[in-house]
Amino acid sequence: MNTKHFVKIISVATLLGLGMAHYANAASAPEPKSADAGTALSDAAITAKVKAKYLDDSRLENSDISVTTANGVVSLTGTAPSSDAKSAAESIAKTVDGVLNVDNGIETPSVASQVEKKTKRAAKKTERVVSDSWITTKVKSALLADSVTKGFKISVKTVNHVVTLTGAVDTQASVDQATTVAKQIEGVASVDASGLIAKQ
């Protein structure tokens, strides 16, 4: 056998060997598309199971939770009425087959927001008191500036925008004038002048 013939045989054998190895690798390599599709199907099944469990759990009433799953990791977003409900949602998700981890992004009313609500209520109450006080001051100023009522000692009290006038004036006309003056002040809902007595 000459050298040239031997080299040809070696070359052909090498090419065949490489071809067979490539074929074997191609046959054994997983199809990425089918693997992705299988994962997506599994994730969708996990999401459906988690949602189904949430519907049957009374701890999650008044919750609005969105569920998504990617590669076995469940992501929870939305709102829950309490931290206990948030923890329950995570615990339930972890019991579903195929779940590797749970990313709990559910929001709950924080202590800060509860304090904020109380502060707003207190501020509203204070605003009403200040408003009543403001009305009282304005009515007193208006009575002192009016030519008919300025000479009389008329007490003014305001509660919930209702002005109460007490004291003594000379005539019923002065009572009527004091009532009219008070009613003209911005924010006054009504005027009670039954405690304002006319001497004549």
- Averages of pLDDT over each 10 residues, the chain, 200 residues: 54 49 45 52 91 91 93 94 93 94 89 64 62 92 93 93 94 94 93 90
Domain range holding 164? 114-198
DSSP category for residue 168: E
Q: Residue 13 and residue 33: Cα distance in Å, rounded? A: 34
In a shared domain, residues 82 and 105 = yes
54 and 3 co-located in one domain: no
pLDDT at residue 199, rounded to an integer = 83
104 in the same domain as 63 = yes
Burial class (CB in 10 A: 0-12, 13-18, 19+), 189: exposed
Residues 45 and 80 in one domain: yes
Domain boundary among 92, 109, 126: 109
Q: Which residue has the tokens 């004036």?
A: 169
Res 34: pLDDT = 40
Query: Where residue 183 sits, what CATH number does that domain have?
Result: 3.30.1340
Q: How buried is 115 (Cβ within 10 angstroms: 0-12 exposed, 13-18 middle, 19+ buried)?
A: exposed
Cα-based distances in Å from 33 to 15, 36, 95: 30, 5, 29
Phi and psi at 108, nearest 5°, equal: -130, 155
Q: State if pTM tops 0.85.
A: no
Distance linking the first and last C-alpha atoms of the chain:
151
DSSP reduced 3-state for 190: strand
Q: Which of 109, 144, 163 is the last residue of a domain?
A: 109
* CATH label of the domain that carries residue 99: 3.30.1340.30
132 and 60 within one domain? no
pLDDT of residue 109: 81
- Rg of the chain in Å (alpha carbons): 42
- Cα–Cα distance, 75 to 81 (Å, whole number): 18
